[in-house]
Structure formats: C-alpha cells, structure tokens
Structure 1
Amino acid sequence: MASEIHMLKPMCLIENTEGRLVINQEALSILSAINQPVVVVAIVGLYRTGKSYLMNKLAGKRSGFSLGSTVQSHTKGIWMWCVPHPKKAGQTLVLLDTEGLEDVEKGDNQNDCWIFALAVLLSSTFIYNSIGTINQQAMDQLHYVTELTDLIKSKSSPDQSGIDDSANFVGFFPTFVWALRDFSLELEVNGKLVTADEYLEHSLTLKKGADKNTKSFNEPRLCIRKFFPKRKCFIFDRPAQRKQLCKLETLPEEQLCSEFVEQTAEFTSYIFNYSAVKTLSGGIIVNGPRLKSLVQTYVSAISSGTLPCMENAVLTLAQIENSAAVQKAITYYEEQMNQKVQMPTETLQELLDMHRPIESEAIHVFLKNSFKDVGQKFQTELGNLLVAKRDAFVKKNMDVSSARCSDLLEDIFGPLEEEVKQGTFSKAGGYYYFLQMKQELEKKYKQAPGKGLQAEAMLKKYFESKEDVVETLLKTDQSLTEAAKEVEAERIKAEAAEAANRELEDKQKKFELMMQQKEQSYEEHLKQLTEKMKEEQQRLRAEQDNIIALKLQEQEKFLREGFENESKKLHQEIDNLKNNDSSGICTIL
C-alpha cells in the first residue's frame, strides 16, 4: 500500500537551531504520504535519562534514535520515526523522540517549554521519562506541565460561558505515561505493597494548606490530575551495570537485567495495545497529512510569537481539507455525468433525472471528506459549482443536439435546396409541389432518432432561414390566384405563430424544470447536512460525556481527600459543560 510507510531510521521533524524551531520539509513529505490513521507516541524527559532506548524498542529496533554514550545530549528538537503498527493493521505508529530537557549546554531553556508543549499537542500518548522515584525533585523538574496554561490555548477567543480555557484541555490532551527509570525501591506505601499505578496516584496526592510552599507542592500535581485524567505508570530496574550502560544498544538481551527486560516488554505491550489513534475534537481521525498540518500550524504560531491554539489548528486543517473535499466532489460529479449521460438526451427532464442522483452522491462525497465547515461556506461553494457544472452539461447537451440536428437537416433538406437552385419548382403548380416535398422531408426529419431536445428549435430556425425562398416560390407560381396566395400567406403566418407559441411553452417548461431542480438540490443539501450534523452532535455528546466522566472521577478523588475547593472547581466545570448546548442545525445556502 502506498499509504504504508516504513522508515528505516528516524528523521528530524522539528529542528531546534539557535533557539529557533525549524520544520524539516523532507519529514513533512513522509507524513503527506501516510493515508492511514496515526498513533502518535511522544516521549520527553531530562537529557541522558534513556528516552531513546524505549523509543527504539517501540520501533522494534536495537538502534535508531540516538542514545548517546556521554554526558552530552544527542537529540536536538523533535525526531520522528514512522513504522507500520505492530499490532493494529491499517494504522501507522509515529514515534516522536524529543531533545533532553534542561540541557546545561543550551543556556536558554525557553525552547524546552515549547518542545514539551508540542509533544503534548501532537501525541495521543505522552511519555514522561525520569530517573528514580516520584519525589519533590521529580515534580519540580516537571514544572513544564504547570506552564501549559501559558503556552497553549484550546479556543481562539475567550469562552462566553465562563469556562476556564484550560478546563477544555482534557478533551484533546493525550494519555499520560510516567516511565520511572533505575527505580530501586520497593513499591510500597505506608507499609503496603502497591502497583506502579497506585504509586503514581499516591505521589499525586495534594497537601492541605495555603502557604507558598504548599502551593508550590500542589501545583504540578494539580495540573497532572486535571489535564491528564488518563494516566499510567511503569517502573524500570537499571538495565545493566553502570559500565555497560554506554553500550546498551549493542548489549545482548541475555546480558541485561531480567527484570528490566520484562518491564520493557510490559511497557511496549501496553503502548501497542492501548495507545489510541490521534483524534481531534468531533471524532476527526488524524492521518499523516493531518498530522503534517498540525505540525505546521503549531510551529508557525510559536515562530510568530503567538500561542498554539487547538481550535485554530483544527480550523486551518478544515480549510485545507474542505477545499480539497469540494474539488473531490466536483471531480466525482463530472466523471459520473460523463460516464452515464449519453448526449444528446431527448428531453431536459431525462438529463435532470440522471443529474439528481449523481448530485446527491457528490454532496455525500463532500460531506464525507469535510468537517467543521463553519457557516457552510464550503458546502455553499460546492452548491454553486454544482449548479455551474449542471448548467454546463445542459448547455453541452443542447449544443450536441443542435450540431446533430444541423447535420441531419443538411442531409435531409440538401437535395430539396439543390432542386430549388435548379429551378425545379419555378413553374406553374411548383409551389404546391415544393410544399409536398417539404412536408415529406419534415416527416422524415421528425422520425429520425437521436436528435435531442433541440430538434423542434433547429427545425424552426431552419425554416425561418428559408422563408424568402418559400415567399418567392409562392409569388412566382402563375397557377395561383391572388386570393389563394393571400390565404396561403396567412396560413404560413399562422403556422409560424404556432411554432413560436410552442417554443415559448417549451422555454417555460424548461424554466419550471430548472426551478424545480433548484428546489430539489437545496432540499438534498439540507437533508444530507442535517444527517451529518446529527451524527456530529452524537459524537460531540459522547466526547462531552467522556470528559464529564473523567472530571467526575477526579472530583470524587478530591472530595475523598478532603479538598473541597478543588472539588467545587471541577463541579463548576462539569456544570458548565452540561449547560453548553451545542445542538441545532445551521442554515445553509
């Protein structure tokens, strides 16, 4: 499959150069080719804590991401490795390894904050890698999580409902996995053996008090609990003796600590089986091109000095994809019409009857490939383009009919014109002889198949072009009295008036058909949009219910621990979410 990408080695995605974040265009090209849904796993942590080793294991390789063997950090910026998902067919695993945080050689650590924020924004599973236990030092080193509210926005404008912007983070933040390396203590709390997850939850317990130290103690714990309600913890023994750590990627597995090997296997198994596909609000599944767009939007915002905004990123993505969806729908419409409509059709009704189901399918193609079409801007554009394309097919149908009728008239009436030139009818009784031949040829023309809807109009136009010939033959026929000529002239005039009336009726009928088609087209757009918006409302409601459930869990924990103030804050957030009515169908076109 063209969409299945298997990079042999990682590549820099976002380079951190002299304090600037620069996107690698070659890496973006690789993402552009991945049509499959992506599971994005990012890892962050202090430099020289063994992040790259875990990421290489997830890639199924002994080496790849640079481990480094000195006190210097190797990974600069964010590196990417895309491989087929080892457990889930049809998905691509995108691994993001980040440069070590707080590298003493960097001097300015501002970009550490942006690297951390980007890893959160881009991933569906976010791994924080640290050495030792979860103590206050570990929490202090995780200060980046407390700065997320200053680095990220969920909405482009303040929420009028009064909901704190960070209250929306839960909806799009990844699963949080804490990897504790070189863990040498017993997993024990108050003399009782606990699991790694229980150890993490105990470590996130708040302290009571309002002084500065207590606030400093609680702040990172509060942020982790509020922003990352889905969290997991893994502990790892030291993989080998200290002298062997510098050659970890070449060390045979049998020489590694058996507990470490088992722990690593448990870790990779969890990531493979439980890491979700990257999904945006509204159930929008992220593939390679969408991930590429997110990278570009977020880095562009950071480079311009503004805050990365999830809502803006989704809207930017929507602009790109909705424009492509319009083109995809129009291409589908043109292909199907060209395949199924044999021109010329005998009537306009026949053409419109073929147009309607194809138009409906084209609208479906657009809606299937579009999302967040604010104000139905792109669907309105599609509607206008479909009208233009339909009218172009109507015109082409008429032109083909006109050309075929013109050729047919020339073939059938050509011999009659030749006889007129030769004077065959320039004699007594010649006029009626001419009329007889003309009527026979007209009957032959009308019986000829495949003329299309311009048959009557082209015949009328042809006869109008020959009016002077008929008038001359009538006037010069010596066998006719003046009275007879006047009667015949009146008959010709009445016949022309009747033909004009038929043409007028035909135009009126065509106009009514096109107006009826316009109404049916509008109804089809509205019907399909209504169905799609109902589905989207169901997805959004399910997302909201999930967010509320996660917040309720955390609220109950705060209540059990005696932190009523935090519990009340979450209760208010939950009430605001419940009252945030997002129902209703927008007016279109």
Structure 2
Amino acid sequence: MEEPVCLVENVNGSLSVSDGAQYLSKITEPVVVVCVVGLYRTGKSYLMNRLAGKDTGFALGSTIESKTKGIWMWCVPHPSKPGHTLVLLDTEGLGDVDKGDSKNDAWVFCLAVLLSSTLIYNSRGTIDNTAVENLHFVTELAEHIKVKSPSAATEDEEVMDESSQFMQFFPKFIWTVRDFILELEIENKKVTEDQYLDFALQLKKGAAKKISDYNLPRECIRTYFLPYTTRKCFVFPLPATQDKMSRLESLNEGELWPHFLTVTRRFCDYVFKESEVKTVKGGHRVTGRMLGHLVRVYVDMISGNSVPCLENAVVVMSQIENQAAVQQGMEVYERGMEQVKSKFPVSVDEISAEHQKFSNLATTEFMKRSFKDQHGEYLKTLAGSVEKRYAELLMENLKSSETKCRVLLSQLYSGLSEAVRRGDYTTPGGYSLYCTHRENIIREYNTHPNKGDKAQDVLEEFLKQWNVEESFVLTQHTNSLLVTSNFSSRMSDSIVCFFAPYSSSCRQ
C-alpha cells in the first residue's frame, strides 16, 4: 500500500466497514496487527508512520482538531519477518471534544483490542492518576467483549471469570509516554521504563470507594496485560524545540533531538521483534483475508447492538473461510478435469485416474485455506461435490462416446446406403458384394481410435438394424431392379433413421 486507507468509518457515532477493507482480501500471508489508541492530539500517527518506515502517511495535523476519524489502516511488508504483513491501525483520538461521545469511544477502543496483536496506548507527560483514568475504557471491556457465548460455556469456563479468559486472548500492551521531561527515578533510585509503569499501576490498600475507584483501572490493566510478557513501556523525550513541534511531520532527522530518535528506533525495533502474528481463540493464526472477515463480523455485531463475542466471531469466520475453501477446491478440480473433458471420449480408466489426481489436488487446496473444520464437515462437502461432478463427467463421457460412434458409423455407412438405394446389390452376385462392403465398414469402424466405451453398444445396435437390410438383399437380389430398388430404398431409410440426429438424409 502506498498510503493508509480507511478501514472503519465513524460517522455521527455509527461505525461501518469502509471499502478499504477489501484490500485485506488480497493478503494471504499471516498478519502482525499493531494498533495505537489514546487521547486525540497526542502524536499517535507519528509512531505509526515510523513503524511503516515513512515520514508521512497517517495524518498528523498541527492544530487541536482531531485528524483521524474511525480506524485507518496501512499494510506494509514486515521488516524482519519474511512472508508476513505488518498491519498498522491508527484509531481516532479518544475524548475528542467535537464528538463528545464516550460510548462511541469505548467501541473504538474495543475494536482496537479485538483486532490487534499489539496494542499501543499513547499518552503525554507522565503516567499519573489522570493518565490512568483516561484509560478508563479498559474497565469496561468485560461489558463490551465476551469470550464465549453464554450458551456454549462449559463448567470449567463458567468457573473462570471473564477477566481470566480475556488474559488468554488479549494483545501485547505498550504504553508510550510522549514529551516526558522527568528523570526516571523512584525514591531517588534509577528505574527502567517498565519499572516506572509497574510503579504507576500499583494498587492502594483499603476498601473505601475513593480507593476502589483509584484501583479499578489499574487492576484491569494488571489483569488483562501481564507484566514483562505482554506489558511494556517507552518514555519519549521532547522531539525538538517548542517552535518546531507543530510541524513534526515535515522535520528531517537532523532537526530532531538525538535522544528522541534513539527511543523511537528502540521502540520500533521492539515492536518489530516482539509483536506476534494475530491469533484467535484456539490459537489459529490470522491472515489478512481472515482479518478482513473479523473486522466485518465485529463491526456488524456492534452496529446490531450486540456485544462482540470472540467465539462467535471465530465461528462466523470459519464458516466464511471453509465455504470459500470448498469453492477453491472445486475450482481446482474443475480446471483439472476440463483438460480431460476436452479429450472426450476417453476410457473409464483414464478419466478415473485423472479424477483421483485432481480430487487429491482439490483436497490439498482446500486444506490450505480451511479454518477450524474440526469435524471435517466442509471436507466432506467438498468430497461430495467432487464425486457428484465425477458422476456427471462419466455420463458426459459416455454420451460423447455414443455421439462420436454414431457419427462415425453414419459417415462410413453413407456409401453403402447410397448403393442399396440404387439397387446395386439386387443383381446376381450382389449379396456377396454387399457382405464384403459391410465387413469393410465394420473393420474400419473397429480400427478407428478413441471411440470411447460406448463403441461396442452402438455397433451392436446398428447391426440389429443392418440385419434387416441384409436379409432383404439376400432374398431379393434376383428380383427385378425396379421392385428391388423401391423396397431397398425403404429399408435403407430405416437404417438412415438410426443416424437421425447426425444425418440430414433421414426421411420422415
């Protein structure tokens, strides 16, 4: 992609999938999905551009107005994982004063969590209580996302609370703090960025409501995103002097402060190395095409006022993918057998061998795309469709053989037919000549190649009609030419009618 495209539109608080989602259908590689969220005008888009290896792309803006609406996507080859695509998602700023809709913000945040394999939360200044409270959407995840549909939950899963289930499927979490001007010290001791984040997420003791409100977002972050394995922090110093901050997008590296560039490179390296392929419930790796299905499924659920359910989304996605896999397998079989069909008629052994070959190829193609076909239902559907088509091809092959044999006999018989009509065989010695000509026709017919499996049946049917003519020639060859000629013409007509669909000489 040369530039980002809109993936999810957000118009008047209503989410819908944009035409840009069609691009994902072209991506068959596994995808690493990195999504950034945070308050508007905190520099989220800059980080996404750097991850894309570009200076420009996602709109940065230089005023207090939020530039990104909905969710925008940029797909680029993964810089360190060949055969993988890096999907960058830039979300509209949370808390946009123009929008003033916290419920809509919550759904945008939920989509970011559901779609990403790495979630970046971008804030400015320090990780203080205000910064944590601005991430209050994390406390609402249990209300906006379900792991399993209630009817399908097992006893063990019912015992496990929703938070514990979330932990298994949530993305890695990176907190990026922009314009950080303090020293990384706690109680006069140097600390790492991760230790700074862990310190900011510490819980207070006590049961008072004020303490509970303070602890709630911290508890959720600590529960959903485990430390050191799925939780990381980067603090960025100011990128440049204040007068240059408003045009960050147009600055070259020489105008940016070295420490800012160092942290930026370290941040990008970490994302490239540690971000994993997007997976869904069951540990199944997601391709770009499958990610496109997920986007549509989740947005449809939200638009329909349903709580997005990870399990139901996987079920719907598996149905879409497996149906497409069956179709793809059938296309492989059809293309292969079309080559055989072009040579009809062929022997049963030949068509059977080709059927087996392309049936196996169809299964292989199905397996490449099939997803979560645990009971092999869709594989059985493919096998049934292949066998049905094979039976149709067998019939087509027999019809082709019959048609070819009838046309061939019609052509070979035309000379003999004309001779019978003229009465050439009703004179003395005519019967012997007739038999010789007939045997020549049969011999030539039998030696003609590639007649198919109906060759003998068609010949035997024709010989039954021919026997009537032979008896006539044998008993009437001494009669007068006039009588013989008239009657032989009628007998010849009965033979010619055998070829009615293939010859224009049949008399009604």
TM-score w.r.t. structure 2 length?
0.83
In the aligned structure 2, how far is the partner of 1:12 from the partner of 1:354? 46
Indicate conservation of the 8 Å contact 1:6/1:84, yes or no: no
Is residue 285 of structure 2 the alignment partner of residue 271 of structure 1?
no
Matches within 5 A, 1:207-286: 207-229=204-226, 230-282=230-282, 284-286=284-286
Indicate conservation of the 8 Å contact 1:41/1:96, yes or no: yes
Q: In structure 2, do the counterparts of structure 1 residues 422 and 73 end up closer, same or farther at CA, with 3 Å as the change threshold?
A: closer
In the aligned structure 2, how far is the partner of 1:372 from the partner of 1:238? 48
Structure 2: which 5+ runs fail to align?
480-508
In the aligned structure 2, how far is the partner of 1:202 from the partner of 1:135? 10
Indicate conservation of the 8 Å contact 2:32/2:84, yes or no: yes
1:129 partner letter: N
Matches within 5 A, 1:367-378: 367-373=367-373, 376-378=376-378
Q: In structure 2, do the counterparts of structure 1 residues 342 and 247 end up closer, same or farther at CA, with 3 Å as the change threshold?
A: closer
Matches within 5 A, 1:140-539: 140-158=133-151, 159-163=153-157, 164-229=161-226, 230-282=230-282, 284-340=284-340, 343-344=343-344, 347-373=347-373, 376-426=376-426, 434-435=434-435, 437-473=437-473, 476=476
CA offset digits 1:231-274 (Å, max 9, x no partner) = 21111122234444223223443443332221111111212232
Is residue 52 of structure 2 the alignment partner of residue 55 of structure 1?
no
2:215 partner letter: N
1:322 partner letter: N
CA offset digits 1:305-344 (Å, max 9, x no partner) = 1112222333333333323222221221122223356734
1:130 partner SS: strand
Q: In structure 2, do the counterparts of structure 1 residues 334 and 197 end up closer, same or farther at CA, with 3 Å as the change threshold?
A: same
Indicate conservation of the 8 Å contact 1:153/1:166, yes or no: no
- Give the corresponding residue for 2:65: 72
Deviation at 1:23, TM superposition (A): 3.1
Indicate conservation of the 8 Å contact 1:32/1:292, yes or no: yes
In the aligned structure 2, how far is the partner of 1:19 from the partner of 1:341? 56
Is residue 18 of structure 2 the alignment partner of residue 12 of structure 1?
no
1:102 partner SS: coil
In the aligned structure 2, how far is the partner of 1:231 from the partner of 1:383? 46
CA offset digits 1:417-452 (Å, max 9, x no partner) = 333333344467866765565445434422332221
In the aligned structure 2, how far is the partner of 1:353 from the partner of 1:297? 42
CA offset digits 1:337-379 (Å, max 9, x no partner) = 2335673455323321221121111111112211133654433
Indicate conservation of the 8 Å contact 1:330/1:385, yes or no: yes
In the aligned structure 1, how far is the partner of 2:213 from the partner of 2:175? 20
1:338 partner letter: E
In the aligned structure 2, how far is the partner of 1:423 from the partner of 1:255? 109
1:23 partner letter: V
Q: In structure 2, do the counterparts of structure 1 residues 440 and 11 end up closer, same or farther at CA, with 3 Å as the change threshold?
A: closer
In the aligned structure 1, how far is the partner of 2:441 from the partner of 2:247? 98
Indicate conservation of the 8 Å contact 2:346/2:397, yes or no: no
Q: In structure 2, do the counterparts of structure 1 residues 464 and 343 end up closer, same or farther at CA, with 3 Å as the change threshold?
A: farther
2:460 partner SS: helix
Identity of aligned residues (%): 45
Match for residue 99 of structure 2 among 89, 106, 111? 106
In the aligned structure 1, how far is the partner of 2:346 from the partner of 2:247? 81
Deviation at 1:129, TM superposition (A): 0.9
Indicate conservation of the 8 Å contact 1:341/1:354, yes or no: no
- Give the corresponding residue for 1:93: 86
1:354 partner SS: helix
Deviation at 1:85, TM superposition (A): 3.2
CA offset digits 1:68-113 (Å, max 9, x no partner) = 3333333222222333333444433322222222233333211110
In the aligned structure 2, how far is the partner of 1:433 from the partner of 1:254? 106
Q: In structure 2, do the counterparts of structure 1 residues 431 and 172 end up closer, same or farther at CA, with 3 Å as the change threshold?
A: farther
In the aligned structure 2, how far is the partner of 1:428 from the partner of 1:42? 100
2:146 partner letter: K
Deviates more, 1:218-227 or 1:457-466: 218-227
Indicate conservation of the 8 Å contact 2:340/2:351, yes or no: no
Indicate conservation of the 8 Å contact 2:298/2:313, yes or no: yes
Aligned-residue CA RMSD in angstroms?
A: 2.9
In the aligned structure 1, how far is the partner of 2:327 from the partner of 2:273? 37
Deviates more, 1:419-428 or 1:34-43: 419-428
In the aligned structure 2, how far is the partner of 1:79 from the partner of 1:446? 71
- Give the corresponding residue for 1:46: 39
In the aligned structure 1, how far is the partner of 2:421 from the partner of 2:249? 99
Q: In structure 2, do the counterparts of structure 1 residues 473 and 273 end up closer, same or farther at CA, with 3 Å as the change threshold?
A: same
Q: In structure 2, do the counterparts of structure 1 residues 190 and 447 end up closer, same or farther at CA, with 3 Å as the change threshold?
A: same
Deviation at 1:220, TM superposition (A): 2.3
Q: In structure 2, do the counterparts of structure 1 residues 83 and 350 end up closer, same or farther at CA, with 3 Å as the change threshold?
A: closer
What is the count of residue pairs matched by the alignment? Answer: 472
CA offset digits 1:441-468 (Å, max 9, x no partner) = 4344223322211111110121233343
Deviation at 1:176, TM superposition (A): 0.7
1:173 partner letter: F
Deviation at 1:190, TM superposition (A): 4.9
1:6 partner letter: E
Deviation at 1:194, TM superposition (A): 2.6
1:272 partner letter: F
1:13 partner letter: L
Q: In structure 2, do the counterparts of structure 1 residues 457 and 310 end up closer, same or farther at CA, with 3 Å as the change threshold?
A: same
In the aligned structure 1, how far is the partner of 2:56 from the partner of 2:338? 54
